[in-house]
């Protein structure tokens, strides 16, 4: 009888641990940054309009930016973080920088703040090379 009770107890504990492990895996996938290539971005924005944010420095922005950019918030000087509270969490956001590294960091910041539809669309030149319109 004691052995049977122990087996049942062990199975229940194993089940609980398995459920917790599955739940943690789901949380990790929700916090990952979604990345799009230039071509994927062009297709995606046709289906799901969104706010395009350039997170580069002012000098980089002045040297050229996407023609449809909606916001320019410099990640390096704290401007981007300062603007997060002014952004609607239910909007879709497309972020880019010079190479994709800063826009990935910015996207992670947004996801940590509860934004769910955030895409890192990579580097400016890669976007231009993929046919996304730019201007100075």
Tens of pLDDT, residue by residue over 56-103, are 999 999 999 999 999 999 999 999 999 999 999 999 999 999 999 999
Tens of pLDDT, residue by residue over 22-63, are 544 444 334 689 999 999 999 999 999 999 999 999 999 999
d(CA 55, CA 98): 9
Asked if 58 contacts 76 with a C-beta cutoff of 8 angstroms, the reply is no
Model-wide pTM > 0.85: no
CA torsion sign, 9 to 14 to 16 to 17?
Answer: positive
């Amino acid at each position: 009888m004691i052995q049977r009770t122990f087996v049942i107890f062990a199975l229940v504990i194993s089940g609980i641990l398995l459920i917790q492990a599955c739940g943690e895996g789901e949380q990790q996938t929700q916090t990952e940054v979604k990345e799009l290539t230039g071509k994927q971005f062009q297709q995606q924005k046709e289906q799901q309009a969104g706010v395009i944010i350039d997170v580069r420095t002012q000098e980089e922005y002045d040297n050229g930016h996407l023609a449809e950019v909606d916001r320019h918030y410099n990640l390096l000087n704290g401007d981007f973080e300062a603007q997060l509270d002014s952004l609607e969490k239910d909007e879709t956001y497309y972020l880019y920088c010079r190479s994709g590294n800063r826009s990935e960091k910015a996207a992670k910041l947004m996801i940590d703040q509860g934004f769910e539809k955030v895409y890192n669309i990579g580097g400016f030149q890669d976007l231009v090379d993929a046919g996304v319109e730019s201007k100075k």
